Structure 1
Amino acid sequence: MSRIIADVIIVGGGIVGCSAAFHLARRKGTRVLVVEKGPLGSGTTKRSGAFVRAAHAHPAEARLAVESTKFFQRWKEIVGGSCGWTPTGLIVVAPAEHAARLREQTAQLQALGADAQIISRGDVRDLQPAARVDDIALAAHEPSAGFVDPVLATQSLAARAKELGATFKTGTMVKSIRIEYGRVVGIETNIGLIEALNVVLCTSAWTDRLLKPLKAEIGLRAHCAPIAFFDRPADLRAGHCAFEDWTTGALFRPHTFGLTMGALNTPPADDANPDSFDEAVAPAFVADLQQRIAARLPAMANARYARGHTGIYDLTPDDHAVVGRVPGITGLFVAAGFGGIGFALAPAVGACIGELVADGEARTVDVRALEMARFKTRDVLRDA
């Protein structure tokens, strides 16, 4: 076969990889190649809840979320086409023991320029008349939150990246990363060697499989993350705000076609194999989740379960993302370990990866706190 050469190879064709491809392809003269073992967006992206909000505990991730929300809102102008952006607003509610943390998180978001404010029980009732509010000690409102269509957004980014000159090779399995004298020179794949001096791993729970032979693994854990969809009853047919409920542990939002999508704030702690897991949703999970949602929106107790699926979260040792260089290997970069929030951060993460590769420094957001080197220095991240 003919020799394949690129300036930058992006491994992984999900939302983060396609975002990185888009941002790099905007730089004229940069040869960008995305390799993906399946169809684009067929991994963790396909099963994402695609909820976009700025309310994240760590400042670096919150900054990425704030910038990404702006990007989603201006999608047609920046990318063209549609990502299926649907504004919903978000209400975060906390019991007394977590009120101080919510107040601090909201102040942090305001300092970052996010549209977020502390609100009263009465405000929650005004925003969502069907909500139970008597157990709320404190609440916060993020009017700019919303959701997108994960497959549509990924395809839109890929299509625009192709128009800008990026190349995509699906059905391409990466076997290993080729290193010579401490720097990347390419990747070994099922179609042969592909040469490049820069490789970006946007490979979610599969990342450590490529890093382990280099003695550079992150220590990722893969966890199953079930999501359930319910047909809303007539009282809520017009929709409702999204809720992140620190009292019940549920995260839920309106979805298209009269559905409500729900998940747990904290996924189950059991380790999973990202290549072999049950995508079905257990009836016990559905019943438990519905009970938690109904504790906030009592009308949902009568909702009918419509469908569900299980995806995979990739979590780092400190539960915060890795965005940046792989220490000791020139030209190797990673964007992984997002723990279920990767979709909300993807536009800004892609921009930062493009800047790191091309300019040596990320300017869209300072992501130095998310560098992989923190695990070697034991300088792990703590929530703000």
Structure 2
Amino acid sequence: MAAPIAKGSGMKQIRDAIVIGSGIIGSAIAFALTRAGIRRVTLVEKGPLVSGMTRRNAGLVHPFQAHPLLCDLANASYDFYNQWAISFGGKSPFVETGAAVVSNFAAPERFAMWNAHANASEIEPAALTARYPNVTDQFRAVMFSPRAGYADAVITAQALVNTAKANGLEVQTGTQAKQIVVKQRHVQGVQTTTGELEAPMVVIAAGGWSERLLAPLGISLQLRFRRGIVEFYEQPPTITHELPMLLDANSTFFFRPHPYHMSAAGRVSLESQTQGIESLDEFVSASDSTSVKQFVEACLAEFANVSTKRAHPILYDTPKDGLPALGRIANIDGLYVAVGFGTSAFAVAPAVGETLAQLLVDGSAARDVSSFSPLR
């Protein structure tokens, strides 16, 4: 491994690969690269470790995604989370709950895709209530998968990074990537606020900040942002059975249990905006909070009288078509992106990391990810 160089020295550091962004996607990529045998990897983060939207993420792991490839990535990532001890040992942060999509309409359109790609099956509402007695059986359609759960997003990302550090990962926090250095359509490295990092491969996984790095290269991912909220409730004492993760068929609302006799729930707006991370404030509107509470009450009647203990907003970024940008930038050798996973980011991160590692090490991936081509 290259000898460490003092931060701020301005000296050029030679690496094999650079990952920009320490959220759950960037952390998973750094972990996968070092596990694949690339030792001189640097993870660059402009703030503290895991300081972006991952810190606000509810950590949902489920296969009910918006595209068959996302379903496949989520299923593979579930296996990773569920077998945590193999890679990390110790107590796993992942809690398996099972997940159900509930609908007031018979067999929504997405049910067919999930039946084919999500390792899920449609069940009678009464069957869901039999499995989870506190859940109402008033819905007309239910899709269920036992392969779902949640984890603390920050703890998970930190564990990925710490394990990668043991395999040679260098982490530079408080270091902003200013420019991707490209010569004759080949990546040369990254210019940062603390000096230049030289590497033949760069992965941009900086979420909503990624456009700033790509714009000087004449590249736009056309990112759009959807505002969401995450709320926490104290679990009613009348809840005496395990609770599942609950989702609506439009992927607008979610509910999941939470440690310490709490529960988490939230929603994401169906409307997107071009304003990015800088526009995020800490305001949670009463109407948003009410709509989340109504979803929870419709699923779990015993939550009718609970009040919100705390809440925070979050921004989810995706390209204009709602699907992520994943893979190599075709006209620049050595430049890769993993951006725009929206509400799916935590659910698919381990498999995204594995896919990027295969692309960097072998030149191709086991999965065909061309439908997520960054320049599609």
Name the TM-score, length of structure 1 as normaliser.
0.91
Say if 1:95 and 1:246, in contact at 8 Å, map to a contact too: no
Corresponding residue for 1:132? 136
Say if 2:269 is the partner of 1:235: no
Match for 1:334: what amino acid?
Answer: V
Q: Secondary structure at the match of 1:101?
A: helix
Say if 2:90 is the partner of 1:84: no
Please give the residue correspondences for 1:195-234 in structure 2 after superposition, counting only pairs within 5 Å.
Answer: 195-234=198-237
Q: CA deviation at 1:81?
A: 4.3
Deviations 1:46-86 (A, max 9, x none): 01110000111311111100000000011121233455110
Q: CA deviation at 1:254?
A: 0.7
Percent of paired sites with the same residue: 32
Corresponding residue for 1:181? 184
Question: Which of 365, 370, 373 is equivalent to 1:371?
Answer: 373
* 1:178–1:239 CA distance, 2 compared to 1 (3 A): same
Q: CA deviation at 1:98?
A: 4.7
Corresponding residue for 1:16? 25
Say if 1:83 and 1:150, in contact at 8 Å, map to a contact too: no
Q: How many residues align?
A: 367
Q: Secondary structure at the match of 2:343?
A: coil
Match for 2:187: what amino acid?
Answer: V
Say if 2:27 and 2:160, in contact at 8 Å, map to a contact too: yes
Question: Which of 351, 356, 359 is equivalent to 1:353?
Answer: 356
Question: Which of 285, 293, 303 is equivalent to 1:282?
Answer: 285
Question: Which of 322, 328, 338 is equivalent to 2:331?
Answer: 328
Q: CA deviation at 1:370?
A: 1.2
Q: Larger deviation: 23-32 or 340-349? A: 23-32
Deviations 1:254-292 (A, max 9, x none): 111111111125455344430342123223321221112
Match for 1:215: what amino acid?
Answer: G
Say if 2:227 and 2:268, in contact at 8 Å, map to a contact too: no
Q: Secondary structure at the match of 2:375?
A: helix
Q: Secondary structure at the match of 1:45?
A: helix
Question: Which of 257, 261, 264 is equivalent to 1:254?
Answer: 257
Say if 2:41 is the partner of 1:41: no
Match for 1:11: what amino acid?
Answer: I
Say if 2:315 is the partner of 1:312: yes
Q: Secondary structure at the match of 2:342?
A: coil
Q: CA RMSD in A?
A: 1.8
Quick one: distance in 2 between partners of 1:32 and 1:108? 34
Quick one: distance in 1 between partners of 2:192 and 2:213? 12
Deviations 1:186-224 (A, max 9, x none): 111101211111000011111111111111111001232
Q: CA deviation at 1:125?
A: 1.8
Quick one: distance in 2 between partners of 1:37 and 1:340? 23
Corresponding residue for 1:170? 173
Q: CA deviation at 1:133?
A: 2.2
Q: Secondary structure at the match of 2:203?
A: strand
Structure 2 gaps of 5+ residues are 1-8
Name the TM-score, length of structure 2 as normaliser.
0.93
Quick one: distance in 1 between partners of 2:66 and 2:224? 20
* 1:249–1:21 CA distance, 2 compared to 1 (3 A): closer
